[in-house]
Structure 1
Amino acid sequence: MVESIDGERPPADPDAVRERVRRYWDWRAASFQADIGAMPNRQSWLDAYSGAVARLLPGRSAPLRVLDVGSGTGFVAIAFAELGHDVTAVEPAAAMTAIAEREAAAAGVRIDVRTGYADPLPPLPPGFDLVTCRNLLWTLPDPVRALAAWRSVLRPGGAVLVADGMWNTPRQELRLLCTGWRSRAARPVGWRFLAAYRGLRRDLPYYRGLDESAARGLMLRAGYTDPTVLTDLLATDAYEAGTGDGHFLAAAHAA
């Protein structure tokens, strides 16, 4: 099991941490969407999410009410909308939400995009069937509290679905630096990321990332039941080569 950095001590100022994270991703929005748009493996994610819904909520037919938290430019939200679900997307970076709305329109689907943090959530009507997040937990100052907040908007028997992995190990940071030196296009992203997060890593307990065991533990502490690993649903090409390690898909139910 991957342990958190510094014993999961709470950050001195969670609001300041969230704001610094938001500013970085606001700056990163355009280049992030360029990376997402170039992904050749989108169908792999559609298949994984479709399979996850079938396992987690058997017998439930579309449209489900889905909340995608930390939605970024809408990759997951749009995927679930294309699968026929009623999707609300929450994202704090305004530049990201603007792209998400544009991309949803281009895909011919509707998603309800809200500007707000993963914790605390903006005002939302309860009764969601599913809460999703992709590559988000490592960016949160208190992932247990965030997971508990998401549970509060789920209907009884609803589920949370988490995709994550190991992102910022020393080896990966070295790779990022080396890529920056070799590629002028990649250099601003690599250096800006390291500069933005250098002062944050001690306030983000899973800055290095997390594994399946850590994710299950977080879900249990947040009050979920029967945490389940669904990594077998992830195709080998779900993530680009060199993009993190130890990728997983995990889920749990609200009581």
Structure 2
Amino acid sequence: MANGLVDGTNYNLRDEIKAYWSERASTFDLSPGHEIFSEKERTAWHDLISRHLGRGEGRAALDLACGTAVVSHLLDDLGFAVTGMDWAEPMLKRARSKAASRGRDITFRLGDAENTMEPDSHYDVITNRHLVWTLVDPPAAFAEWYRILKPGGQLLIVDGDFVNLSLKEQIVAKLSTFFQRLGFASAETAKMSPQLVEIHQNILAQVHFSRGARAGAVADLLVKAGFESVRIDSNLRRIFRAQAKHLGFWKGVARITQHRYAIVATKGGTSLR
């Protein structure tokens, strides 16, 4: 494949996912919804994290699939001792550079979110954003996250269903197309090349949640993995409204109507702290 993406007989889905995100690293921070473009959005993220995890107070947090470390920095803002993990070295290179330029004390490690190689009962908090939909084996990943959390530790997932369009999304898409044809709205330029869009679709067709990562399905798997007090938070509107100002009009409207959510879950037992 072009653009540094490998092709070969031993090239499996995990390799393709890793190569895809490695290729995306150079433009990742250009997209609203990846990087943060306003203090209003940053505050909304802080409020979401604090609402579910509380203040950091030096607690150990692992930010899985950290990418360029956007969520890692949010956790650092709130006083967590943060480790960011990603299996795409180009993402980590940018994450380290960003942390150094901002004077942040964040540790970064190359690793697989489904097999972290971290010690048992090591972290107070685990976070991830837009990771779950890409998982090849969510039950194994959730069992892994349960293992490395301390008793009483918390998991915060932020994700969404990027496959199924709600009725509102379908209406927004049709209106967008209609007004573009009339010349009242311009087509919104995609950040990805056609090849990367094709690779994205190919990956999506093969992962566990190929039919969409619905919040209820994710929550059910977390319960089966042993997590307790599993709660779904669908009220992310403050974040999406802030992002919408930096998206095109129709993409901004669509963002607000999508099935996106946060899920918080707890490992049973008494905290070791």
TM-score over 0.5 for the pair: yes
Equivalent position of 1:8 in the other structure: none
Partner of 1:67: 62
**2:65–2:87 CA contact under 8 A, matched in 1:** yes
Deviation by residue 1:2-54 (Cα, 9 ceiling, x = unmatched): xxxxxxxxxxxxx8211100101101112111223453322211121112113
**CA deviations over 1:82-136 (Å, ceiling 9, x no partner):** 1111011110111111111112223321111011111111445642111111111
The change in CA–CA distance for 1:156 and 1:109 in structure 2 (over 3 A counts) is same
Distance in 2 separating the partners of 1:218 and 1:245: 22
Name the structure 2 match of 1:21. Answer: 17
Q: Quick check: which has more Rg, 1 or 2?
A: 2
Say if 1:48 and 1:234, in contact at 8 Å, map to a contact too: no
Asked if residue 220 in structure 1 is aligned to residue 223 in structure 2, the reply is yes
- Residue identity matched to 2:216: S
Report the TM-score, using the length of structure 1 for normalisation: 0.80
Distance 2:260 2:142 in 1: 19
Tell me if the contact between 1:164 and 1:209 (Cα under 8 Å) persists in the aligned partners: no
CA distance in 2 between counterparts of 1:222 and 1:61 reads 25
Whether 1:237 and 2:235 are equivalent positions in the alignment is no
Q: Given the superposition, is the C-alpha separation of residues 69 and 223 from structure 1 closer, same or farther in structure 2, using an over 3 Å criterion?
A: same
- What is the aligned partner in structure 2 of residue 83 from structure 1? 78
Q: Give the TM-score normalised by the residue count of structure 2.
A: 0.75
1:106 aligned onto 2:101: yes
1:50 aligned partner: 50
Query: C-alpha root-mean-square deviation of aligned residues, in Å?
Result: 2.8
CA contact (8 A) 2:56 2:79 kept: no
Deviation at 1:191, TM superposition (A): 2.0
Show structure 1 runs of 5+ residues with no match: 1-14, 55-59
Q: Which amino acid in the other structure matches residue 97 of structure 2?
A: R
Which structure carries more relative contact order (alpha carbon 8 Å, separation 6+)? 1
Distance 1:52 1:158 in 2: 12
Q: Which runs of 5+ in 2 are unaligned?
A: 1-10, 181-185, 245-251, 269-273
Q: Is the 8 A contact 2:84 2:108 kept in 1?
A: yes
Query: For 1:1-255, what aligned pairs fall within 5 Å after superposition?
Result: 16-35=12-31, 36-37=34-35, 39-40=37-38, 41-54=41-54, 62-124=57-119, 126-169=121-164, 182=187, 186=190, 189=192, 191-232=194-235, 235=238, 236-237=240-241, 239-240=243-244, 241=252, 242-243=254-255, 245-255=258-268
